[in-house]
Chain A
C-alpha cells in the first residue's frame, strides 16, 4: 500500500535509523567545528594569557575595556565602515548600470557576462598581485596613465590618504560583476507586460525606468547593498597582500591607514599572540556580520518554516 509507505517516509518517526545515521554524525561535526569554536571564541575574549605560565586565565571584560580605550581599534572600526561605504557608493550604481545595459542588448551577452565576471574567476591573491603592480609608483600602469593625462604621479598604496581608496577601487573592480548578475536576475523577474502596458500609455524610456524598473528593483538593490556590506566587512586577502610591509611583515599600513577590523583581528591573534584582544574583535565582527546576514535572510525570504 503506497499510502502506508508515504506515511512511513514522512511521518513514521522511528521506523528507520537512516535519518539518524546521517544527521547525528553531521550535527556532531557542526558542534565541533562551528558551535564549539564560537563558545571558545567567547571564552577567549573574556580571558587573557598569563605572561609566565602561558595558561589562559579568566579576566572578565578586560579585553573589551582595552578595545574601547584602544585608539587603533576605533581607527580600524571607522576605516572598516569607510571602506564599506566607498564600496557601496560605487558598486550599487555601477553594477545596476551594467545589468541594465546587458538586459537591453541581444548580441554579445555571453562576452559581456564573461568580461564583467572575469575578475571573479581570477584568483583573489592573483588580483592583489596584479594591482600591486598597477599601483607601483615608479613602473606601474596607474601612474603611467596619470602622466599621459598630465596628472602628477601618486604613490597610491604608500600614501596614507590614498591607500584605503586604492584598495576599495580594486575591491569594486573585482566584485562589480557579482552584483551585476544579481541585478540581472532581478531585472529578468520584472514582467514584460508592465513595460508593454506603460508603452501603450505613452510612457517614455525614462518614465518607464523611473516608475517600473526602479521601484520593482528595490528589494534587489537592498539585497545587493547588504551582501556588499558583508563582503566589505570580511575583505582580507587583498588588504593583506597589497599592504603588507616588506620590512615588518605587518599588513594594514602605511601607518595603519588600511587597518580594518579583520586585519586588526588577524594581527592581534597571529602576529602579537594577543588571543584575548583578537577574540574580542572577532566577537564584535561576528555580531556585525550576523546582524547583516539576518537582514539578508529576511530580504531573500529564507523560509525558516518547513
Chain B
C-alpha cells in the first residue's frame, strides 16, 4: 500500500482558497476538453453507427428526407437479399480464408527468420538482411503489374494461391520480429542447447512464447492489411466465385446503383471481422502502431 499519499494540510485559509480556485479552473478546462473530444468523436463514430443502423432499414426508409437515424421498422431483409441473390457467403469465406491463411504463414515465417537474424551468424547474413530491409521501401501497389504478369504466365489467375502467395514474407515483419527477439537473452537459448534441444524446438518452445505480444501485434496488422487488400485481388481474380469481400463491395456501386440499404448491409458485414479482432486484441493493436509508427 505504498501508493497512499497523505493529503497536504493547508496552513492558511489563503492557500486553501487558492488551491480551491485552481482545482475549479482545472475542472472547467477538463470539462471543456471532454466536450470537444466528445464532439469530435461523434464525427468519426456517427457515419459508422449510421452504416450499421441503415443496414436494418427498408428500401423506402433509406431514401427518406429528412433521413432517420434509428430504423423505424428494423428488418433483416437486406441481409437476406444479399445472401440469397449473391454468393455472399462465398465472398466472406474467400476473404477470411485468404486473410487468415496468409497471416498465419507470414507470422510463422517471419518470426523464424527474425530468430535466425537475431541469434545466428552465417555467411551472407549482412547482404541478405540488408536486401530484405531494403524491400521495405517498395510499396505493394507498384509490384501489382509485374506480379500479375508472372501469375498469368503460370495460369494462377482466379486461384487462392494467386491471392495468398505474394504476401507471405515482408521486410517490415522480419525487421519487427528481429528487433523483439534480439531482446531475449542468448543465455536462455544456450541453456536449452545444453539440454540437447534442436534449434527449431528452441524457436517453438522458448522464442514463440516470449514474443507472443509482438506476434499478435504483427498478426493483427497483417489481418487488417490483408482484409482490406484491394488492388491485387481486383486484378488477380475476375470470376465471381473467387472474389474477396472488398472486391465484391466495389462492384455494388455498379450493380445496385443507389440501393444503399443493400450496400450498407454488405459494408456492415465486411467490417465485423476487423472489429472483432480489434476488440479482442485492442491493446496490442494500438501499442503496435505506437511501437512501429509504420504503415503498410
Answer yes or no: are A and B bound together in one complex: yes
Query: Residues of A with Cβ closer than 8 Å to B?
Result: 2, 5-6, 8-14, 16, 18-20, 22-23, 26-27, 29-30, 33-38, 40-41, 44, 98, 101-102, 104-105, 107-108, 111-126, 128-134, 136, 139, 141, 144, 173, 176-178, 181-182, 184-185, 223, 227, 230-231, 233-234, 236-237, 240-241, 244, 246, 249, 262, 265-266, 269-270, 275, 278-279, 282-283, 285-286, 289-290, 293-294, 296-297, 300, 302, 304, 306
A115 to B128, Cβ gap below 8 A?
A: no
Min Cβ gap B56→A in Å is 15
Q: Judging by beta carbons under 8 Å apart, are B143 and A34 in contact?
A: yes
**Cβ–Cβ contact B121 & A125, under 8 A:** no
Instruction: Knowing A12-B121, A133-B263, A181-B289, say if A126 contacts B139 (CB, 8 Å).
Output: no
Question: Whole-angstrom distance from the CB of B223 to the nearest CB of chain A?
Answer: 11
> Quick one: closest A residue to B254, CB to CB?
A246
Which of chain B's residues has its CB closest to A189's CB?
Answer: B290
In the complex the two chains form, is B149's CB within 8 Å of A125's CB?
no
B68 CB, nearest partner CB in chain A, Å: 11
Q: Which residues in window 98-128 of B have CB below 8 A to A? A: 109, 112-113, 115-117, 119-125, 128
With beta carbons under 8 angstroms apart, the residue of A44, A121, A265 that contacts B146 is: A44
Q: Report the Cα distance A118→B132, complex, angstroms.
A: 33
Contact residue among A116, A132, A275, A297 (Cβ-Cβ distance under 8 Å from B253): A132
Q: Is B8 among interface residues, defined by CB-CB distance under 8 A?
A: no
| A112→B41 contact, CB < 8 A | yes
Closest residue to B199 on the A side, CB-wise? A18
Which chain B residues lie closer than 8 Å to A306 at the CB level?
117, 129, 182
Nearest opposing residue in chain B for A292, CB measure? B137
Contacts of A278 in B (CB 8 A): 145
Whether A30 contacts B37 in the complex (CB less than 8 A), given A10-B119, A19-B120, comes out as no
- Distance (Å) between the CB of A27 and the closest chain B CB? 5
CB distance from A283 to the nearest CB of B (A): 8
B residues near A (Cβ < 8 Å) are 30, 33-34, 36-37, 40-45, 47-48, 50-51, 62-63, 65-67, 109, 112-113, 115-117, 119-125, 128-133, 135-139, 141-150, 165-166, 168-169, 171, 175, 182, 186-187, 189-191, 193-194, 198-200, 224, 227-228, 230-231, 234-235, 245-246, 249-250, 252-254, 257-258, 260, 263-264, 266-268, 270-271, 274-275, 278, 282, 286, 289-291, 293-295
Could you tell me the distance in whole angstroms from the C-beta of B11 to the nearest C-beta in chain A? 19
Q: Which residues of chain A have C-beta atoms less than 8 A from B139's C-beta?
A: 230, 233-234, 285-286, 289
Asked if A26 meets B147 with Cβ closer than 8 Å, knowing A293-B136, A306-B129, the reply is no
Verify B286–A117 contact, CB threshold 8 A: yes
Inter-chain CA distance A6–B67, complex, in Å, is 70
* Contacting pair B120 A126 (CB below 8 A): no
Decide if A236 touches B230 in the complex (CB within 8 Å): yes
Given contacts A5-B194, A240-B250, A244-B254, contact A126 B268 (CB under 8 A): yes
A–B Cβ pairs within 8 angstroms, 28 of them: A5-B194, A8-B193, A9-B119, A12-B121, A18-B116, A19-B120, A23-B116, A26-B113, A26-B169, A30-B132, A44-B146, A101-B36, A116-B44, A122-B51, A122-B274, A124-B230, A126-B267, A129-B252, A130-B47, A130-B50, A184-B290, A240-B230, A249-B254, A265-B145, A270-B145, A270-B235, A282-B145, A285-B139
Docked CA distance A201–B161 (Å): 65
Evaluate contact between A123 and B227: CB separation under 8 angstroms: yes
A121 and B145 contact, CB distance less than 8 A = no
Considering the complex, give the chain A residue whose CB is closest to the CB of B45: A115
Q: Which residue of A lies closest to B132 (CB)?
A: A30
Say whether, besides A29-B168, A111-B41, A130-B50, A35 and B253 are in contact (CB < 8 Å).
Answer: no
| Bound: A123/B278 CA distance, A | 12
From A2, which residue of chain B is reached at the shortest CB distance? B190
- Number of CB contacts from chain A to chain B under 8 A: 299
**A23-B128, A129-B252, A130-B51 known; A144-B40 Cβ under 8 A:** no
Contacts beyond the supplied A130-B51, A246-B254, A304-B130: 13 A-B pairs with Cβ under 8 Å? A18-B120, A27-B128, A33-B166, A37-B147, A41-B143, A118-B45, A125-B250, A241-B250, A244-B250, A246-B253, A286-B138, A286-B142, A296-B294
Output the nearest chain B residue to A220 by Cβ-Cβ distance. Answer: B293
| B207 CB → nearest A CB, Å | 12
- Structural contact, B253 and A300, CB atoms closer than 8 A: no
**In the complex, are the beta carbons of B33 and A101 less than 8 A apart?**
yes
B residues within 8 A CB of A262? 141
Query: Which residue from chain B places its CB closest to the CB of A113 in the assembled complex?
Result: B286
Q: How far is the CB of B114 from chain A (nearest CB, A)?
A: 10
B200 contacts A118, C-beta separation under 8 Å: no
- Across the interface, B47 reaches (CB within 8 A) one of A27, A40, A41, A134, namely A134
In whole Å, how far is A174's beta carbon from the nearest beta carbon of chain B? 9
> Using Cβ atoms and an 8 Å threshold, which residues of chain B touch A185?
289-291, 293
Contact check, B145 vs A44: say whether CB atoms are below 8 A apart: yes
Interchain CA distance A97-B266 in the complex, whole Å: 34
Contact of B227 with A10 in the complex, beta carbons under 8 Å: no
